[in-house]
Amino acid sequence: MIRRGNALKRTAGVVMALGLVATACSSSSDGDADANTGDSVAVEAPVDTEVVESTQSEGGTLAAVQAAGTLECGGNDTLPGFGIIDSDGAFSGFDIDFCKVIAAAVLGDSEAINVTPLVAAQRFPTLQSGEIDVLIRNTTWTASRDGAEQANFLRTTFYDGQGFMVRSDSGIASLEDAANTTICVLQGTTTLLNLNAVLGDRGIPFTPLEFESNDELQPAFVAEQCEVWTSDASQLASFAATLDIDTTVLPDIISKEPLGPVVADGDTEWAQVVNWAVMAAIQAEEFGITSANIDSFADSEDSGIRRFLGLPIEDDDGNSVVAEVGLGLPTDFATNIISQVGNYGEIFERNLAPLGLERGPNALWTEGGLMYVPPFR
């Protein structure tokens, strides 16, 4: 009898514990539902909120980012010039600055970003899962990625091409000389696909050596485990500037690599916001507005500039109106971008010019480059 009593107690205990778990479950989902309908409920688990919101697809990413007050970016942490962690632990670089551009436009604060460093292969799964709001990690826009990755590629921020780097004393002067060499390349990149396709087509045999990160690729190249390092030409330039050995970039550029921000499919509003934030930085350069001189445009007579900066425009009756473009962004989003981060040219000069990169195709269309954006009206 005593035994039986114990068993009963144990069972009752288990039942109670399970009951508690069950209540906890249901109450937490209640809370989520509330948070989603907009009630001010203290949200303990932000992940859950995001989960539920995505299941009901109300509000969208823009509302979620504004509610959270932080923009979640996927970035690089091992590529000088584009995305790297500097000596005091902060992310910096060209791609990181564009993350700041978006944060300045959406939240009015360019520092309200949280960068998640990703290796190449993690990029798309992370974007698919909704962990990051935008991916800005030197990611190449291709048809199959746009089509099959459930990713939505936006305005290109940097036009690049795939190049090859060798040691200057290697005696390799062209891609043909590189036959039978070992070629170092990063896993999960378009670089790898181009390498296989182009060298395959040209009948140049090679041994691929794939690494997950530049942290391992670089010592392998320095120790001559591979004779050739292939990547986007801009990346090669940025590494050449940091290596102790003499290197040469071969004249062969084998691909087009348009790099830009990426968002998950299915949220047009958010895609437009990101797109126009990026384009505002480019437009600012075209207008000649920089972070230094933006104050002098406050009484500009140019209605195009006034509209762009969200300054009031007076009509004939003396009423002043602020132009609203209807993107869901504050009217002064371009002002925030320029004053907090700078225009496209400034971002380029700050991050990429020190590595010896020229504007090239990334110059404004007015100067013969490809940077051309639709009008802001």
Partner 1 sequence: MLERLLRLILILAILAGIYIAVWSARRSAKGSAGGPPPWRDTKVLIIAAQVAALGVILSVGDYLWANFRARTDEIGLELNFDFLDQPSGISIADSPLDPNSSIQNALIAGVKNTFLIFIVGIPLAVLLGTLIGIARLSTNWLLTKIATVYVEFFRNIPTLLVIVFTWQALLLGFPREQDSWLIRGSSTAADSGPPSLEGLFIFNNKRFAFPSIGGGENFGAFQVVFLVAVVAAVAMWVWRTRNFDATGTPHRRVLWSFATLLVISVIGYFVLGGPFSISRPMIEQRIASGGVKMQMPYVAVMFGLVLYTASHIAEIVRGSIMSVPKGQVEAGNALALSGFQRYRFVVLPQAFRVAFPPLINQFLNYTKNTSLAIAVGFAETTGVIQNLFGQSRPAPQLLLILMLIYLAFSLILSAIGNLINRRLQIVGR
**Binding residues among 38-97 for partner 1 as defined by CB under 8 A:** 51-52, 54-57
Q: Using CB under 8 A, pick the residue from 65, 237, 262, 264 that binds partner 1.
A: 264
Percent helix / strand / coil, the chain, rounded to 5: 45, 15, 35
Q: Using CB under 8 A, pick the residue from 63, 68, 209, 323 that binds partner 1.
A: 209
Please name the helix (run of DSSP H) or strand (run of DSSP E) that holds residue 249, with its range, or none.
strand 247-249
Segment lying near partner 1 (by CB under 8 A), choices 114-122, 252-260, 304-312, 330-338: 114-122
Alpha-helical (H) ranges within the chain are 2-37, 46-56, 60-68, 94-107, 123-129, 143-148, 190-202, 214-222, 233-240, 268-287, 303-309, 333-340, 344-351
Cβ–Cβ under 8 Å, residues 354 and 300: no
- Among residue numbers 122 through 161, which ones bind partner 1 (CB under 8 A)? 122-125, 128-130, 142, 144-145, 147-150
Cβ–Cβ under 8 Å, residues 62 and 328: yes
Q: Using CB under 8 A, pick the residue from 38, 200, 354, 368 that binds partner 1.
A: 200
- Among residue numbers 158 through 177, which ones bind partner 1 (CB under 8 A)? 171
Closest by CA to 118, choosing from 107, 129, 110, 106, is 129
Q: Using CB under 8 A, pick the residue from 223, 295, 317, 320 that binds partner 1.
A: 223
* Interface mask toward partner 1 for 20-39; x: CB under 8 A: -xx--xx--xx-xx------
Cβ–Cβ under 8 Å, residues 161 and 255: yes
Q: How far apart are CA 236 and CA 246, in angstroms?
A: 13
Nearer to partner 1, 192 or 243 (CB): 192
Calculate the alpha carbon distances from 296 to 16, 34, 301, 340, 341 in Å. 69, 47, 11, 16, 17
Work out the angle between the directed axes of helices 344-351 and 94-107 (0-180°, nearest 10): 140
Q: Using CB under 8 A, pick the residue from 182, 291, 300, 340 that binds partner 1.
A: 182
Nearer to partner 1, 40 or 57 (CB): 57
Q: How far is the CB of 44 from partner 1 (least distance, A)?
A: 16
Q: Using CB under 8 A, pick the residue from 37, 168, 196, 303 that binds partner 1.
A: 196
Nearer to partner 1, 121 or 313 (CB): 121
241 makes contact with partner 1 (CB under 8 A):
no
- Among residue numbers 267 through 296, which ones bind partner 1 (CB under 8 A)? none
Nearer to partner 1, 239 or 308 (CB): 239
121 makes contact with partner 1 (CB under 8 A):
yes
Instruction: Please name every residue paired with 162 in a beta bridge, in sequence order, or none if there are none.
Output: 232
Segment lying near partner 1 (by CB under 8 A), choices 4-12, 65-73, 100-108, 251-259: 4-12
**Token digits for 209?**
């050596």
203 makes contact with partner 1 (CB under 8 A):
no
Nearer to partner 1, 52 or 68 (CB): 52
Q: How far apart are CA 211 and CA 192, in angstroms?
A: 11
